[in-house]
Amino acid sequence: MTSVARPATARPAGAGHHNALNAIRLLLAGLVIVTHTGSAPWDGEGWIAGDTLGGWAVAGFFAISGYLVALSRSRTTLADYLRRRAVRIFPGYWFSLVVIAAVVAPLSAWWSGAHWEFGSAAGYVARNATLVQVQPGIEQTLTQAPYPLVWNLSAWTLAYEFACYLILGVFLPRASGARALVVSAALFGLCTLVSMPRFKPALPYEVFTLARLGTYFFAGALLLVLGRRVRWTPLIALGSVLAIVALGWAGRLTWLGALPIAFLVLWLGRSLPTRLGSTHDVSYGVYLYGFPAQQLLTAYGPWNQGAYFAAVLAMATGLAWISWLVVERPSMRWRHSPPATPQPSPRADQVGS
């Protein structure tokens, strides 16, 4: 009997660690640093098609996260899922608060001749521990920085990402079957509807922002649920590029671009040959420490923009490695617990989380 070629399956990043997703996340974290350091080849923060270069990088982060988190939800109970998500996001974040308050901010104060306030530093750690940036600065530090009195501008996205985790965990108990397809499509459609530009003035900032970032997150989740229905081919990737260009030209990319952007990012994760970061994922740490490194190093100027970016990237990467080795990787042992019931084996067309 003549064999029939199997269609391309939903393997946007291969299996397990054999993918380029962590390398892409490192690149996206670097783009956020580029935006905040003013090293972009565009004016200001690099506005492109309605958002900054860093803003589009965050969109890519959310698309990848939505895909992988939906996969995690499909394999675990709600309790296990929530523990996995909390263990991945909170320890590294808490460690970054301590590093900023007890190391980076005192260095900045010493260099600028300011007085480091212990009470304010302790408050910075305690008040921001829930992911919401209640206290952005530490008294008497960063008064002359490019972004005054703010120690980690990038961290604002974490509360929205965790909110997406919670929504997906509650409403998408299994990422397979007709129910999962309907739920994931409904979540994606609802976020797209709420993030319409005409609703922005009428909605609270937090609601509109959650909906906008949620379009990318749930686009990634939808692509996971679609599974083998998605053909990950270069031709469709090219179609995604053309759709992105067309939506950007029409001024609708920030509203309607989530699905083609998610497809393109995940297709690159499947297709690129690099495995950078597949064993040691420091992309989260680079994202967390890029902005504090920028704020600290501005005091040591004047800088050439290229040298400034290189120094910020080097410092952020160094702190990210420390965070990964000392906090993030050790804490991951708490992700696992014996399942109450046997769990089905993941399909070969799925990736690890």
**What are the CA-CA distances from residue 310 to residues 151, 252, 285, 307, 317 (Å)?**
19, 34, 16, 5, 10
The predicted model scores a pTM of 0.89
Distance separating the N- and C-terminal Cα atoms of the chain: 38
Q: Are 21 and 63 in contact (CB under 8 A)?
A: no
**C-alpha torsion 260→264→269→274, nearest 10:** -160
Instruction: Please state, in angstroms and as integers, the Cα–Cα distance from residue 102 to each residue in 93, 107, 119, 192, 304, following that order.
Output: 14, 9, 11, 41, 28
Query: Is 277 a member of any domain?
Result: yes
What is the token pair recorded at 251? Answer: 């001024």
Helix axis angle for 118-127 and 78-99, nearest 10°, is 160
Question: Residue 337: what pLDDT?
Answer: 56
User: Does some domain include residue 340?
Assistant: no
280 in a structural domain: yes
Range of the domain at 296: 21-332
How far apart are the C-alpha atoms of 114 and 174, rounded to whole Å? Answer: 53
Structural domains counted in the chain: 1
Residue 13 in any domain: the answer is: no
| Residue 51 phi, psi dihedral angles, 5° rounding | -150, 165
Ordered per-residue pLDDT tens for the chain, 353 residues: 333 333 333 343 444 567 999 999 999 999 999 888 764 444 455 688 989 999 999 999 999 999 999 999 988 899 999 999 999 999 999 999 999 999 999 999 998 888 899 999 999 999 999 999 999 999 999 988 888 999 999 999 999 999 999 999 999 877 668 889 999 999 999 999 999 999 999 999 999 999 999 999 999 999 999 998 999 999 999 999 999 999 999 999 999 999 999 999 999 999 999 989 889 999 999 999 999 999 999 877 778 888 888 999 999 999 999 999 999 999 998 876 544 444 444 443 334 34
- The rounded distance, in Å, linking the Cα atoms of 164 and 218 is 8
Q: What length does the chain have?
A: 353
- 215 Cα distance to chain centroid: 13
| C-alpha–C-alpha distance, residues 224 and 67, integer Å | 6
Token couple for 171: 């409403």
Q: Is the separation of the CB atoms in 65 and 164 below 8 Å?
A: yes
Residue 193 covered by a domain: yes
